[in-house]
Amino acid sequence: MAAKDDNKVASYVRIMGTDLVSNATLVFGLAKIKGISYMFANATCVALSLNKLTKIGELSESQIEKIEEFLSNPEKNLPTWMLNAQKDVQTGKNLHFIAKDLDYNELQLRRRYAKTKSYKAQRIKARLTVRGQRTKSNFRRSKTLAAMKAKQGGRK
């Protein structure tokens, strides 16, 4: 990524398999990692007693290792309601998935739904809403609704 002023390439810091821009603050940089929200990043900074406003490029190697160690196993220090896989179906434990683990877990969840052939599984397969939202006026960008509109004749 080129800088605007002097065409220098911005440096990146790699945390949990994700490249983060080094001039971002710690909280907002950690929130760029898939599976970590701003609130989760804030809790990470508080638990590790790091300043939230430090730039990611200013972190030492030991601090980066502490952050990666914490993010790989946050169940020890954070309350369970902050985790994204509470009472996991396969293990029964409270887990938190980040980046590729999150994608893999979602894929396994969809496969499990497909095997059950429940109403929820049918809605997911059709790319429709699952939790009772109205679909007449919203969710128009969904492929299935666009296909249904095309069959009806489209716009006039």
Q: Distance of alpha carbon 13 from its chain centroid, rounded?
A: 19
Looking at CATH, the fold of the domain delimited by 12-82 is given as Helicase, Ruva Protein; domain 3 (1.10.8)
Total residues belonging to the chain: 156
**Domain ranges within the chain, ordered by starting residue:** 12-82, 100-152
pTM above 0.85, yes or no: no
Q: In a structure prediction context, what are the per-residue pLDDT tens digits for the chain, which is 156 residues long?
A: 444 444 444 588 888 888 889 899 999 999 999 889 999 999 999 999 999 999 998 888 999 999 999 998 888 888 889 888 888 777 888 888 888 888 888 888 888 888 888 888 888 888 788 888 888 777 776 555 566 666 676 555
- Return the sign of the alpha-carbon dihedral for residues 30, 34, 39, 44: negative
